[in-house]
Structure 1
Amino acid sequence: MTTPRVKGYSPDVIAHDDPAAWPAALAVAVLLTFAVTATARHTMQRAGALWSAALDAVCLPGPSAVVITQDHRADAYTMPSLPGRIVISHGMLETLDPRGHHILLAHEQAHLRHHHYLFISLTHLAAAANPFLRPLAHAVDFTLERWADEHAARHVGDRRAVAETVAKAAVATKETRSHRRHATAALGVLGRGRTSEAVPRRVAALLKPAPHNPPAQLAIAAVLLAATSLCALEAAHDLHEFLELAHTR
């Protein structure tokens, strides 16, 4: 006896060519539901954070991209928006010398110029869908701060000075007990969420020679990206052929 077709597809063909035990199907359905729910929830939270940051940036006084606040607590951060604003407290300026001011500004400008908040949004969205990617999201957070550090080092031409500035900013922030009261989408010189444990690693990296990208590493990354893309295309092609088969029989 032939099973009636469902919306033009033959359940007999589907069951014969792509059998799936109901426990496995149930487990996949639960995981998929969890992933979709977590992704939607994170997307709404992130969109709200970016919108709040954009509103805060617009409401900051003055037309300049750099805003100096009278807060005595040491703080410096970037508000993602169009085009974005850099906020530096009076307490942070008092902590650093003029060269440190240039380094701090170069660091924050790197966050704006290279749209680092987009990298963070995408990686944390992926981590929300797949919790196994959370270490990758944290690694991206750290790498973006290193990116901004290296940008500042190239700007001033002195890696040790950048390392000293990052260390001074971390100490001053801890001593003045600065707490952010702005949108969580903001990026600061000490990274997201005041992750002070990453500061020693950044300082140690700045005290070493500038990193470089060997052609072998770039080639490996390109091969992995190509292989991943080919696997995704092959899976999509197989699914298309299977659905065509189920539809024609």
Structure 2
Amino acid sequence: MRIAVYIPLLLSLVAPLAARPLAERCEPRLATWLLTAAALVLGTASTVSLGLLAVTGLIRIPQLAALGHWSAHSAQHDDPAQLSVALVAGLLLGAAVLTAARMLWRRARTLAAAALDAACMPTRDGTVIVDDEAPDAYALPGLPGRIVVSTGMLHTLDETERTILLAHERAHLTAHHYAFVALAQLGACANPLLRPFATAVAYTIERWADENAVRATGDRRRVARTVGKAALAAHQVPALARAAGAALGILGVRGLRGRRGPLASAGPVPRRVAALLAPPLGRHPALTAGTALVLGTAILATAEATHDLHVLLETIGVR
């Protein structure tokens, strides 16, 4: 097979380097869409590439080649891919499929549990107040979803800050942020090299929700103060938050706590606060075009590699 089959794998090595710059320089909603698409497309393309390479190894085995009426001898001569490469690709493909399947199963169980928990929380306005002195708040997906806030968090914040907090958590539900996190993590499970995209998506959905809170209140500095205040107040996590929020990728403020240090190596909360204190980010056409170019290249290369395999199988077919 020609070089096209290796292009998605090569892009998986290089593209994740742009995940954090994209997350911090592009408008959060657009950044979330681009990062999620990058993780999903590159994860799929690299998995298909591994599958194509693995097939070139399988057709060299006479017993398997006979099933498809192919010539194993011709395959050894007409296919430029090395047998060792095909074997490694087969092993990596098996690991990717198993990891992705396990992730999908766990995510489905978690979503089902979250939906059941949400259904058991009767409320008129979608907000559930939990009697717990540990400050926390999180969004719980369901039909419909719920916003869960502890009494400890309500006591920590004033009335305006509570409005900001609820607007932030409501954005997680209305924009279905858990789906973006799940898709990005699926791509990272298929290809571990893409984990920076999943990490970046976990950050951009919080920035997306922060900007929703800004639109609801019109005060960027007040939202920044609320984000920092809520994060500092969160020292304990309710069991429900650990079971639902952590697995769904939409933890409350406890899951957003940052680390000390320069902003370049800071955790999510300092970076979010800094972004809120700065002017709103634009759509950044250059980053958008660059992402589209990378994804388009991966798709075209995968299609070309699939065509190459089809031509190879026709060439080595036994007539």
Same fold, TM-score > 0.5, yes or no: yes
Distance across 1 between alignment mates of 2:80 and 2:287:
41
Counting aligned pairs with the same residue, the percent is 48
Greater per-residue helix proportion? 2
| Partner of residue 135, structure 1 | 196
Within the candidate set 143, 147, 161, 1:86 is matched to 147
| Partner of residue 165, structure 1 | 226
1:77 aligns with 2:147: no
- CA, structure 1 residues 217+27, in 2 after alignment: closer, same or farther (shift >3 Å)? closer
Point out the more displaced range, 134-143 or 179-188. 179-188
| Partner of residue 227, structure 1 | 297
- CA, structure 1 residues 30+167, in 2 after alignment: closer, same or farther (shift >3 Å)? same
Distance across 2 between alignment mates of 1:127 and 1:58:
31
Q: Is the 8 A contact 1:123 1:140 kept in 2?
A: yes
Within the candidate set 70, 94, 113, 1:33 is matched to 94
Which segments of structure 1 move beyond 6 Å, counting only runs of 4 or more?
A: none
Q: What does residue range 108-123 of structure 1 map to in structure 2 within 5 Å? A: 108-123=169-184
Q: Is the 8 A contact 1:75 1:178 kept in 2?
A: yes
Q: Which amino acid aligns with 1:190?
A: V
Q: Which amino acid aligns with 2:150?
A: S
| Partner of residue 107, structure 2 | 46
1:188 aligns with 2:251: yes
Alignment partner of 1:188: what SS? coil
**Cα drift, residue 195 of structure 1:** 4.1
Could you give the per-residue CA deviations for residues 218-239 of structure 1, whole angstroms, max 9, x where no partner exists?
Answer: 2223222322222222222222
Higher relative CO (CA 8 A, sep ≥ 6), structure 1 or 2? 2
The number of residue pairs the alignment matches comes to: 244
Distance across 1 between alignment mates of 2:303 and 2:81:
22
Within the candidate set 202, 220, 237, 1:178 is matched to 237
TM-score, scaled to structure 2: 0.70
Q: What does residue range 89-100 of structure 1 map to in structure 2 within 5 Å? A: 89-100=150-161
Could you give the per-residue CA deviations for residues 61-115 of structure 1, whole angstroms, max 9, x where no partner exists?
Answer: 3343211222222111001122311111121111111111111111111111111
Structure 1 stretches of 5 or more lacking a match? Answer: none
RMSD: 2.1
| Partner of residue 284, structure 2 | 214
